[in-house]
Amino acid sequence: MTTRVEQSESTNGTATRPQWSVGDEETTGGLPLIDDATAVAPRDARALSKLFFDRLQELEEGTPAYSYARNTLIEMNLALVHFAAGRYRNRPATDHEEIMQVGTIGLIKAIDRFDLSRETEFTTFAIPYIVGEMKRFFRDTSWAVHVPRRLQELRVELSKAKEELSLLLDRDPTVCELAEHLGLQEDEVVEGLVAANGYTAGSLDTPYSDSDGGGADSEGRTLAETFGACDPALELVEDFHSLAPLIEKLPERDRRLLRMRFGEEMTQAQIGEVMGYSQMHVSRLLSRTIGRLRAGLLPEE
């Protein structure tokens, strides 16, 4: 058997709030039976929340009545999640549904930890929980590269400082000016600026066009195709410079031998015919000459 919760009336006799049936003790714990809690007006939700919180403290966890009271509180206060999510509506690359889900987790945590004895409005208590979960979600998922929380917070401070100083100086601030403005060391500012590069990441398959080139070759290329590659021959430059004076000190015969073997790429047999030596003697001469050059390149112990 159910009774009715009377609606309040205004001075002219018209109803200002809806009326709800009061369910049985086992199912609802004697609380109003609300079919669609998400449709409850914010003003009514505040009043009903106090009633539901007060009864929730008396109900045994795990019972149908406890589940009804807790779930109804969540649904009645989803407007708080919508309110908090509204401030992030224009945030780039943000899924509103994901923000709502994360904010609902914060709402649930607030409901489970709220205590009426603190004499605090639930709205005041819940908003920090909801916003905190949203900020944690952005911190954990928005960065393309994971960086420590300290650097994530420093990025926000640097962004604000750069905006303020740019207005004052009418130019981009230097690292020294940013450090002085924030009361940090210059190396800390540099670390924060470097870490900020990890917030977003571009694809190497992004189409790239060199506006300065103006040629047809610049069309249809990707960003990856514009990156240069390391030339293995560059590693030999230093060796060549070190080797040149050593070769100059060699006798003419040894220099000629090296020129024919490595410059003209002649075989040992061909060199022997030209110089009148046997192939075995050419091999010994080459080995001795190369050994002398190698010893000259190696550092002395």
What's the gap between Cα 19 and its chain centre? 49
Question: Which is more confident, 3 or 120?
Answer: 120
Q: Which contacts qualify for 39-46: CB closer than 8 Å, 24 or more apart? A: 40/76, 41/17, 42/79, 43/17, 44/17, 44/18, 45/76, 45/77, 45/79, 46/121, 46/122, 46/123
Tens-place pLDDT, residues 101-114 = 999 999 999 999 99
Three-state SS for 257?
A: helix
pLDDT tens-digit series, residues 178-195: 999 889 898 988 888 887
For the stretch 234-251, pLDDT in tens is 878 887 888 888 888 889
Q: What's the longest Cα–Cα distance across the chain?
A: 129
The CATH number of 235-297, from 1.20.140.160, 3.90.76.10, 1.10.260.40, 3.90.230.10, is 1.20.140.160
**Average pLDDT of span 211-220:** 54
- Would you say domain 17-141 falls under CATH 3.40.50.300? no
User: Whole-angstrom Cα distance, residue 179 to residue 285?
Assistant: 65
H or E stretch including 207?
strand 207-208
pTM for this model (two decimals): 0.51
What pLDDT shows up at residue 5?
45
> Which stretches of 77-121 are DSSP H helices?
78-86, 96-113
Q: Where are the domains of the chain?
A: 17-141, 149-226, 235-297
Per-residue pLDDT band for 98 (boundaries 50, 70, 90) equals confident
For residue 27, give both structure tokens: 């199912």
- The CATH number of the structural domain formed by 149-226 is 1.10.10.10
Q: What value does the mean pLDDT take over residues 13-35? A: 66
According to the model, what pLDDT value does residue 77 have?
Answer: 93
How does residue 37 score in pLDDT terms, banded at 50, 70 and 90? confident
